[in-house]
Amino acid sequence: MNAALTLRERSEAEASRLPPLLARAEHLAGTVMLGDHGRRRSGLGDDFWQYRPAQIGDSRRMIDHRRSARGDQQFVREREWQIAQSVMLWVDQGASMRFASDKSLPTKSDRARLLGLATAILLVRGGERVGLTGTTLPPRRGNAQIIRLAEAWSEDAQADYSPPEHRAMIPHARAVFISDFLGPLDEVELALTKAADRGVRGVLLQVLDPGEETFPYRGRTIFESVGGSVRHETLKAGELRARYLDRLAKRKDALTQLCRATGWQLGLHHTGDSAQAALLWLYRALDGGTR
């Protein structure tokens, strides 16, 4: 529990540097509820929207007598229809995410969880509902949900690569996937395809260690996966650099094409860079880049 609280405190510190994120209110099938900020549409809610002339069928108690007293016509006071956006999050907890090429750098997992929770905090402050992909933690609002997310992300998976969850996607919701995306791509393709079929718009944020981008290894080197399932020793690590960088470039291109085909956005973050910059990118990507 202490680890979860610490993670939350650090995420709140990142989130506090930005204004609360107000995700765009969209027509969400099956997710209509009262919220803290509404769509400009008549319906249930507490906030005043507009006055309109009374029509046949309006009940007497709908009449705003103070406004109507200004003239000969009767007016109805309408309120906004308020809709809270549901945002589903997936943060890769696989062993590959626990890699850091230098002790001065955070692990990919630490940075991914921090960004995921900070994003959730911004969304909750903006009146949105957040939860995990799948069925274990459905989207909810409030600080208690932030604690639940922190607790869920404090656990590590044993496998080298953890596939994204694609069950129970809420139609027309939003989603955020944060991972290094270096594992099998077919599970990512399946998740994004299912999401697109349900009208889910989302953001992929690829988190990489600087060493994974530059491949600075020379001479005798032992490469071993964090989970211990793969081990390779070579005397000429430098000769692998070109092949490795080519495969990495192809993976990035495959992710770009996948996001383009499904209507998702793709971002890249290095653990040596500012967490605030990555959080700002997520903020703008989820808000449609209009701020």
pLDDT per residue, tens digit, the chain (291 aa), is 566 666 666 666 555 543 332 232 222 222 223 333 333 444 444 454 566 787 766 677 777 777 778 878 887 766 544 445 789 999 999 988 998 888 899 999 988 988 888 888 878 877 889 999 988 899 999 888 888 888 888 888 877 788 898 888 888 889 999 999 998 999 999 999 999 999 998 999 999 999 888 765 554 444 455 555 565 545 455 556 677 788 899 999 999 999 999 999 999 999 999 888 888 888 778 876 433
Q: Are 67 and 103 in contact (CB under 8 A)?
A: no
- Residue 32 belongs to some domain of the structure: no
Residue 238 sits in a domain whose CATH number is 3.40.50
Residue 35, domain member (yes or no): no
Residue 100 lies in a domain: yes
- Is residue 74 domain-shared with residue 116, that is, in the same domain? no
For residues 130 and 191, state if they share a domain. Answer: yes
- Give the total number of structural domains in the chain: 2
State whether 60 and 129 are in the same domain.
Answer: no
Give the type of residue at 199.
G
pLDDT digits (tens, 9 = 90+) for 65-101: 777 788 788 877 665 444 457 899 999 999 889 988 8
H helix runs in the chain, sequence order: 2-15, 65-68, 108-125, 143-152, 186-197, 210-214, 241-262, 275-286
Token representation of residue 184:
């099998």
> Residue 83's pLDDT is what?
43
Residues 115 and 238 in one domain: yes
Q: Kindly state whether residue 18 falls inside one of the protein's structural domains.
A: yes
How many whole angstroms separate alpha carbon 65 and alpha carbon 42?
19
37 falls within a domain: no
Q: What is the pLDDT of residue 150?
A: 84
The answer to whether residue 36 sits within a structural domain is no
Residues 76 and 216 in one domain: no
> Whole-prediction pTM value?
0.70
The answer to whether 92 touches 178, Cβ cutoff 8 Å, is: yes
Query: Are 254 and 282 in the same domain?
Result: yes
Domain residue limits at 61:
42-80
Q: Are residues 139 and 16 in the same domain?
A: yes
First-to-last CA distance in the chain?
A: 36
Residues 149 and 269 both lie in one domain: yes
Whether residues 103 and 205 share a domain: the answer is yes
| E strand segments, 25-143 | 39-42, 48-53, 75-81, 86-91, 129-132
- State how far the Cα of 164 lies from the Cα of 92, in Å rounded to an integer: 7
pLDDT for residue 253? 96
Is 217 contained in some domain? Answer: yes
CA distance 225 to 212: 13
Question: Is position 34 within any domain?
Answer: no
Half-sphere exposure of 170 (CA within 13 A, CB side): 26
For residue 174, give the DSSP letter.
Answer: E
Q: What is the pLDDT of residue 17?
A: 45
Distance CA 7, CA 11 (A): 6
Q: Do residues 75 and 88 both lie within one domain? A: no
For residue 225, what pLDDT is reported? 52
Same domain, 76 and 142: no
> Is there a single domain that holds both residue 251 and residue 197?
yes
